[in-house]
Amino acid sequence: MRHGKKFNHLGRTKSHRKAMLSNMACSLIEHKRINTTVAKAKALRVFVEPLITKSKNDSTHSRRVVFSYLNNKYVVSELFRDIAPAVASRPGGYTRIIKTGNRMGDNAEMCMIELVDFNEIYGSDKKETKKKSRSRRGSGKSSGENAGDSAVDEVETEAKEETKD
C-alpha cells in the first residue's frame, strides 16, 4: 500500500528518475528554459528549486552538495556565478511552468519550464507604478489649512526676495 506517499515516480526506477531529473536540471540551468511534459516539469521544480536556494550561499560545502545532485561542474559554476546573484533577493519560486498544449503523438500535456528572472518577455516590463493617493475621511481642506498654506507661501517668497537683495 502507498498511503501518504505523494512522490511522482514518473514510471521509472529510482536511478533512471534521478539521472533524468539531474539532466533536465542541467539543461534548465544552461538554457534557462526547456520544453517537457507537465508531470516532469512539476517533478523538476521540486528537484531544482532547493538547489537554487543552496546556490545563494556560495561556500565549498554548498557547491559540493549541488554538484552531488547535478554531476556537471560547468553547470554548477554557471549556477553559482550567474543565476544565484540574479535570484538573491527572491525568497523562492525561481521557476515558472507555462502550459503549451498537447503533444501530437500521444496527446501528453506539454509545457515550458523556465527560470523566472531570465525571461526577456516578462522580466523586461518593469513598470514604475506611482503611489496612488487614498481618499481619507475629512480630506477636504478647511479654511484653517488654506490659511496655513498661504503663510508658508509668504515665508518662501520673503526668503527668495532676501536672497535676491
Q: What is the pLDDT of residues 43-60, one digit of tens each?
A: 999 999 999 999 999 999
Ordered by where they begin, the domains of the chain are 14-123 (3.90.1030.10)
Measured from the Cβ of residue 115, the count of other Cβ atoms closer than 10 Å reads: 20
Q: What is the mean pLDDT of the chain?
A: 85
Q: What is the mean pLDDT of residues 80-97?
A: 95
What's the whole-number mean pLDDT along residues 146-154? 56
C-alpha cell at 93: 519560486
Rounded to a whole number of angstroms, the CA Rg of the chain reads: 28
